[in-house]
Amino acid sequence: MSPFARTRVDAEGTRSRWTAGFTLLEVLVAFAILSIAVVALIQGFAQGLRLLKTAGDHQQAALLADQKAREVVIPVEGHDQGREGAFDWERVVTVVEAPDLRRTPATRKWHVYQIDVKVRWGDKRGVEIVTLRTSAEKAPPAGATR
């Protein structure tokens, strides 16, 4: 007799024997459920890693856009572009009309510039930073007339 065999007594007093443990069908169902759970768990981890990479790329692009906007010390209207690593960037500097700055001779020398930096990577991903900066015209050389 097997060490797992047990004897049971029914309500009618008859004895029957059964073996302790699981049937093959129960084991197969348990493995099926376990394998589905493992596959779902692995897919969840993979999706988390993809999202983490996307967030890291987005953060790097935002830092690059901020850096390219801050590189403009003395704004001059124009258009620049370039590539750094996996990122393509484009910077456009334009003068913004500011009627309030035209009122007095002291404020006429000031101009407002808009600095627009776009960073793109991958197929459809991109970040855009727009900022305003004020700058005064350079003073004319001594003895020059305007």
3-state helix, strand, coil in the chain (%, to 5): 40, 35, 25
Task: Output the pLDDT for position 33.
Answer: 96
- 55 CB-near residues (< 8 Å, 6+ apart): none
Contact assessment for residue 17 and residue 10, using Cβ atoms and an 8 Å cutoff: no
pLDDT band, residue 109 (cuts 50/70/90): confident
- pLDDT of 20 > 80? The answer is no
CB atoms within 10 A of CB 84: 13
- pLDDT of 79 > 70? The answer is yes
